[in-house]
Amino acid sequence: MSNAIDTKKVVVDEITSKFKDSVSTVIVDYRGLSVSEVTELRKQLREVGVEFKVYKNTLTRRAVEQVELTGLKDFLTGPNAIAFSNEDVIAPAKIINEFAKSHEALEIKAGVIEGNVATVEEVKALAELPSREGLLSMLLSVLQAPVRNLALATKAVAEQKEEQGA
């Protein structure tokens, strides 16, 4: 009997460390999805470095208590899968939200964004944001605009002086 308890403790510790290490976590109800659909979702998530796991709710509840995310307890009913991302905050929400649009059986229940419990609406709002690369390119274009405008103005002044001198 103690072997089963030890095994459960190891799993709880694993879940706890995943919650602590992840910057973004999304909990979904996957009831109604076929095995091939779940496999496709796992593949899409794996491509961006997101781990998608199914754990027993009782073990997940214990892990949630250890990381002080007790607000998630209400969502840990029925068959759940959890997507953990250690790098990109937006990736799991974006992929799961897009997948849920074409597969109505997939239901987003809740999430954890940088250590804070997030509602379904907050997870979906996060999914609508551009990716990290998209945000960086937007920032870069905003930073380049003044320099580009200065260069264009300098060029126009130089051309005007050439025309006046010629």
**What share of the chain has pLDDT > 90, as a percent?**
15
**Please, which pLDDT band fits residue 83 given cuts at 50, 70 and 90?**
very high
pLDDT > 60? residue 1: no
One DSSP character per residue, 29-75 reads: E-TT--HHHHHHHHHHHHHTTEEEE---HHHHHHHHHHTT-GGGGGG
Greatest mean pLDDT range, 37-41, 113-117, 126-130: 37-41
**Residue 78 in 3-state DSSP?**
coil
The arrangement of strands across the sheet holding 116-118 comes to 50-53, 80-85, 24-29, 107-113, 116-118
**Please, which pLDDT band fits residue 166 given cuts at 50, 70 and 90?**
low
Q: Facing residues of 29 across strands?
A: 80, 107
pLDDT, one tens digit per residue, over 54-78 is 899 889 899 888 888 878 888 888 8
pLDDT, one tens digit per residue, over 26-36 is 999 988 888 99
